[in-house]
Amino acid sequence: MCITKDLLKEAISLQERFNSEHERLVNKKAESQQKVQDLLHKIENDEIPEYQAYQLIMAIKHARKDRREAWDELIKLGEIKGIVDFNLEHISKRLDSQIKGLNNRKYAPRILTNLFEN
């Protein structure tokens, strides 16, 4: 049992989740912004009847709200980015090397050499 390896696996899992959430939020923000642009182009280029104008306003409002929510979460994620922004695969390889070294170490007596003579 190696607590360090278990913790490192959890850290790698957290890093993968962070990256996945970050990517999802970036895509959500971009998609919402593109929806707003599409709606604004519709308003700019077409004659809009009054009944449809309200629908477009509500659609813009909803898309802007989605964009703002994604942006707010991205700002929060940015605060912890430094915590999960490590090369954990490299750390894992170093840890494996250290564990291997610890398992193969030999003790060399310094003073009481006669205790180890067989």
Closest CA to 37 of 66, 60, 57: 60
Instruction: Write down the pLDDT at residue 91.
Output: 80
Q: What is residue 44's DSSP assignment?
A: H
pLDDT recorded at residue 71: 96
Q: How many CB atoms lie within 10 A of CB 63?
A: 19
CA gap 83, 67 in Å, rounded: 25
- Check whether 118 has a pLDDT greater than 80: no
Q: How confident is the model at residue 41 (pLDDT cuts 50, 70, 90)?
A: very high
> What is the DSSP track for 12-73?
HHHHHHHHHHHHHHHHHHHHHHHHHHHHHHHHHHS---HHHHHHHHHHHHHHHHHHHHHHHH
Residue 83: pLDDT above 80?
no
